[in-house]
Amino acid sequence: MVIGLFKSLMGQKAPTPPAAGPLGLRIGAAVEIDTLRFRMMAKQLNFDLPNDTLFITAHGHVDLGDGSHVHRYYTDAHTMFQILCVGGQSDAHVQEVTLYVPHTSYYPEGQAWQTWQGEGARLGQPSYSTDDGTLYQRIWFEDDDGWASPVRFQEQVTHADNAVTLIGQEVMLYGRQIAEGPGFGEYLLLSIEEHPEGRSVEAMLGVDLEPGMFTVI
pLDDT in tens, 2-11: 333 323 323 4
127/183: higher pLDDT: 127
Q: Is residue 84 part of a domain?
A: yes
96 phi, psi to nearest 5 deg: -145, 145
Answer whether 82's CB lies under 8 Å from 98's CB: yes
Q: Is residue 205 part of a domain?
A: yes
Quick: pLDDT tens for 42-51.
889 998 888 8
Give percent above pLDDT 90 in the chain: 77
Distance, in Å, from the CA atom of 151 to the CA atom of 192, rounded to the nearest integer, reads 10
Q: Is residue 16 part of a domain?
A: no
Query: Amino acid letter at 37?
Result: R
Range of the domain at 179: 22-216
Answer whether 193's CB lies under 8 Å from 167's CB: yes
Cα separations in angstroms, 123 against 129, 130, 146: 11, 12, 12
- pLDDT confidence of residue 199: 96
Residue 166 scores a pLDDT above 50:
yes
The angle subtended at Cα 64 by Cα 62 and Cα 67, nearest 5°, is: 110
Q: Is residue 34 part of a domain?
A: yes
Number of domains into which the chain is organized: 1
Distance, in Å, from the CA atom of 109 to the CA atom of 103, rounded to the nearest integer, reads 20
Q: What's the whole-number mean pLDDT along residues 85-94?
A: 96
Residue 54 scores a pLDDT above 70:
yes
When pLDDT is cut at 50, 70 and 90, the band that residue 29 belongs to is very high
Say how far residue 193 (Cα) sits from the centre of its chain: 12
- pLDDT confidence of residue 8: 31
Q: Is residue 124 part of a domain?
A: yes
Q: Is residue 13 part of a domain?
A: no
Q: Is residue 2 part of a domain?
A: no
Q: Is residue 4 part of a domain?
A: no
37/129: higher pLDDT: 129
Distance, in Å, from the CA atom of 12 to the CA atom of 155, rounded to the nearest integer, reads 19
Phi/psi class of residue 213: alpha, beta or left (left: φ > 0; alpha: ψ in -120 to 50)?
alpha
- Which residues neighbour 211 within 8 Å (Cβ) at sequence distance 6 or greater? none
Residue 20 scores a pLDDT above 50:
yes
Answer whether 70's CB lies under 8 Å from 82's CB: yes
